[in-house]
């Protein structure tokens, strides 16, 4: 069992463990069509409060998952970042991130949050590899992940349906040795 993660400090942000107080922000962010568009759940046009509560509310923490709210230096909660699917046997995990406050997009906050979460993953959770998947047309996310040391590893053709339309997704991964370099 991994338990509650620590508070982590970056340059532009700090990561605060997700608690029930964070839920109203999550409900607002995931209910925003411009944010939801890029999320793997955007096939669900209505992101209900109930759905968010059942995924992120108290008692829904899953084995092998750590969740933080991304907080800007001015104290505003701006997003959510998770390391999930932590598999001790292979020392690997998946990263999921969303900056839900659109005013903070493309200002380096996502990059800082990911760097801090990766540092925790590689140093404290002893991970060897972290991967993620993103929509092939999500250029800002791909650029952001590359800045954090991720490399493109492959293409999952027609991997999901976005509003009913098949969409390719890019697999990206970072190994501890790449990250250290």
Which is closer to ligand COA, CB of 17 or CB of 108? 108
Nearer to ligand COA, 58 or 134 (CB): 134
Residue sitting closest to ligand COA (CB): 110
The DSSP code sequence of 94-138 is EEEEEE--GGGTTTTHHHHHHHHHHHHHHHTS--SEEEEEEETT-
Is residue 13 within 8 A of residue 109, CB to CB? The reply is: yes
Give the CA radius of gyration of the chain.
16
Cβ proximity to ligand COA, 38 vs 131, nearer residue: 38
Tell me how far, at minimum, the Cβ of 76 lies from ligand COA, in Å. 13
The angle formed by the CA atoms of residues 5, 6 and 12, to the nearest 5 degrees, is 115
Query: Rounded to 5 degrees, what are φ and ψ at 150?
Result: -70, 150
CB of 134 to ligand COA, least distance (A): 4
**Residue in this structure with the two tokens 């701006």, named with its chain if needed:** 78
In whole angstroms, what is the distance from residue 87 CA to residue 135 CA?
Answer: 24
Query: Counting contacts by CB under 6 A, is residue 77 touching ligand COA?
Result: no
Q: Report the distance separating Cα 162 and Cα 103, nearest Å.
A: 24
Q: Of the two residues 143 and 151, which places its CB atom closer to ligand COA in the complex?
A: 143
Q: Residues 118 to 157: which contact ligand COA by CB under 6 A?
A: 134, 138-141, 143-144
Convert residues 28-47 into a mask of x (bound to ligand COA by CB under 6 A) and - (unbound): -------x--xx--------
Instruction: Choose, by CB under 6 A, the member of 16, 108, 120, 152 that binds ligand COA.
Output: 108
* Min separation Cβ 113 and ligand COA, Å: 8
DSSP letter at 44? S
Where along the sequence are the contacts to ligand COA (CB under 6 A)? 35, 38-39, 97-99, 105-111, 134, 138-141, 143-144
């Amino acid at each position: 069992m991994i338990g509650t993660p620590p508070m982590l400090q970056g340059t532009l942000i700090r990561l605060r463990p997700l608690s029930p107080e964070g839920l109203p922000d999550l409900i607002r962010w995931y209910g925003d069509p411009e944010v939801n568009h890029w999320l793997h759940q955007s096939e669900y046009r209505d992101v209900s409060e109930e759905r968010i509560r059942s995924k992120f509310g108290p008692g829904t923490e899953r084995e092998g998952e750590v969740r933080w709210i991304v907080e800007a230096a001015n104290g505003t909660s701006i997003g959510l970042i998770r390391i999930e699917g932590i598999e001790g046997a292979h020392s690997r995990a998946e990263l999921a991130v969303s900056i839900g406050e659109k005013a903070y997009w493309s200002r380096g906050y996502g990059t800082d949050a990911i760097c801090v979460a990766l540092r925790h993953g590689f140093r404290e959770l002893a991970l060897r590899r972290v991967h993620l998947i993103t929509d092939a047309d999500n250029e800002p996310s791909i650029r952001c992940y590359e800045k954090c040391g991720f490399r493109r590893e492959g293409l999952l053709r027609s991997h999901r349906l976005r509003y009913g339309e098949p969409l390719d997704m890019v697999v990206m991964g970072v190994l501890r040795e790449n990250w250290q370099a």
